[in-house]
A and B are shown apart, each in its own frame.
Chain A
């Protein structure tokens, strides 16, 4: 299991990338992370919301309250242009780290 710090650091690019696929809300984002990581990334689910709020305060995402199909009010998040630019930047940084490590270790994850 990756360390808490690594999980925390990866939360920003992960959330931005998931929102780049389209508008979403907290629970759905968590499900997507679980599905993408094959349950290898373990999030305390509530911790996602401070991340989303931070992104919103930085002007990278926009949110809107709407009534969901369940009849409850739900807050939906959407990536804005500034967020897309931030994601491109994150992508560059993470890929450069990844490529450096892959150069040493080889590109594939042999065991989990």
Chain B
């Protein structure tokens, strides 16, 4: 019996890692009950354990099914995909901004105000980001039935809407905020050299920010994708 106990214990360790202690208690009781009932078949203990654990299901399959009930696991899966999308998006945006910084500087040379230059700088990323978001929403909706109804193009839940809004707000508030701070400091708007300096200082700060963001993002992605599977796609009972 003690050998069987040992085997059940190591089975339990594997299960508990995947579904947590409470669910593991239930599953262990189920397994032990089944092993007891199978005693009538005359099978040796070891085979009864094998049969019972087979009937209960593979630990990975069970963990996937239990994860569907765990909001944290589901959100962790969603977060992983958001981060996966954010990194290329950040790279694209930083490339566009580099180009637009040059355009903004040039427009100052043409005698535009810093505000007009800043607006020009923001226009292209806004268009690109808007297009990307629209494409994402469309791609999400297109997999569902009846994608051509206009109302179906809007985010269907508050959580999705919140995700979209956070991305939009973060992307668009940083730059105008810094430009307006620059104005509040009372520096002459039309001063071309200082606008140059501002852009230079801003671009260094931003590069550090992006580097930090991407590093944290990469670590998070690695953690999310290597930890236990979240939001499995197949349903079974």
Residues of A within 8 A of B (CB): 4-5, 7-8, 10-11, 25-27, 30, 43-51, 53-54, 57, 68, 70, 72-75
Contacts and interface: CB of A to CB of B under 8 A. Distances in A.
A30 B33 CA distance: 12
B50 to A, nearest CB: 14
B5 interface: no
**7 closest Cβ pairs, A-B complex:** A11-B237, A46-B57, A44-B57, A46-B56, A8-B237, A46-B62, A8-B235
B186 to A, nearest CB: 58
A73 B29 contact: yes
Binding site secondary structure of chain B = helix
B189 interface: no
B236 A46 contact: no
A110 B23 CA distance: 40
15 contacts: A4-B234, A25-B29, A26-B29, A30-B30, A43-B237, A46-B61, A49-B23, A49-B26, A49-B27, A50-B65, A53-B23, A57-B69, A70-B33, A72-B29, A75-B25
A54 B36 CA distance: 28
Contact of A27 (B29, B65, B66, B234): B29
B141 interface: no
Given A4-B236, A46-B62, A54-B69, 16 more contacts: A7-B237, A8-B236, A26-B30, A27-B33, A44-B55, A44-B56, A46-B61, A47-B61, A47-B65, A49-B27, A53-B69, A68-B29, A70-B32, A72-B29, A75-B25, A75-B26
A72 B25 CA distance: 10
B68 interface: yes
Contacts of B120: none
B102 to A, nearest CB: 55
Contacts of B61: 44, 46-47
A8 B69 CA distance: 15
B171 interface: no
Nearest to B62: A46
Interface centre among B32, B33, B234 (most CB of A within 10 A): B33
